Structure 1
Amino acid sequence: MASAQSIKKVDILINGRSYTINCPESEEPALQRAASYINQFMQEVRRQAPQLPQEELLVLCALTLFEKSENLQRYQENESQAQDLVGKMLEDVVRFA
């Protein structure tokens, strides 16, 4: 029988504000890495657009991070297609050799 995973309250800091997040204990390192990345990213955006209100800064960061995620997904799909094509080309070379 599987045991229930322990949930832990984790404090993270994003753009100078503290947030308490409930997460499985095993996921705390990933949560801390994500919070650190988002915090650094928000600070970069804040330096470039210091006049943005907090809410608009959050929206801009969310949209930009989504775009980065989409670009990464497209890149991975293209890479997979390229690997498939190379594999087929190698099969053809071996077959016709």
Structure 2
Amino acid sequence: MILDSDTTKVISILGNDYTIKAPEGQEQALMDAVTMLKSALSETKRSYPTLIGDRLLVLAALNLCSKQVELQRQHAEELSRYEEQVSATVEVIEKTIAQG
């Protein structure tokens, strides 16, 4: 007998139910994503009260993607800055060892 380690969840978004399998250990991540999407839908609906259905969903998804792109850009900048700091520290250590 093969056991399926995925957990099936039924979520409701904009009045539609979706059955989604979450890999074992990822159930909370799925529920967090659902909460984030529902929050984005609510925010988008407040800003654009006439939008409904797919248009509302697409705009909310684009807003989430836009935030993700900005976070990735910030992360890349911070990573570059940290790499420069590490390189500078390594240079100082190398000079100190060479003098020592």
TM-score, structure 2 normalization: 0.77
Counterpart in the other structure of 1:83: 82
Q: Residue deviations 1:64-84, cap 9 Å, x none?
A: 211111111111111110001
Gaps of 5+ in 1: none
Amino acid at match of 1:46: K
Distance verdict in 2 for CA 1:6–1:60, change over 3 Å? same
SS of equivalent to 1:26: coil
Counterpart in the other structure of 1:26: 25
Q: Is the CA contact 1:7–1:25 (under 8 Å) kept in the aligned structure 2? A: yes
- The aligned length equals 95
Amino acid at match of 2:12: L
Amino acid at match of 2:71: L
Amino acid at match of 2:9: V
Distance verdict in 2 for CA 1:49–1:28, change over 3 Å? same
With 81-90 and 4-13 compared, the bigger mean Cα shift is at 4-13
Shift of residue 16, structure 1, vs aligned partner: 4.1
Q: Residue deviations 1:23-61, cap 9 Å, x none?
A: 223221111110011101111111111101211111111
Q: Which has the larger radius of gyration?
A: 2
1:13 aligns with 2:12: yes
> Runs of at least 4 residues of structure 1 off by over 4 A?
none
Q: Aligned equivalents of 2:80 and 2:32: distance in 1?
A: 30
SS of equivalent to 1:32: helix
CA RMSD in angstroms, aligned pairs only: 2.2
Percent sequence identity over aligned pairs:
32
Counterpart in the other structure of 1:50: 49
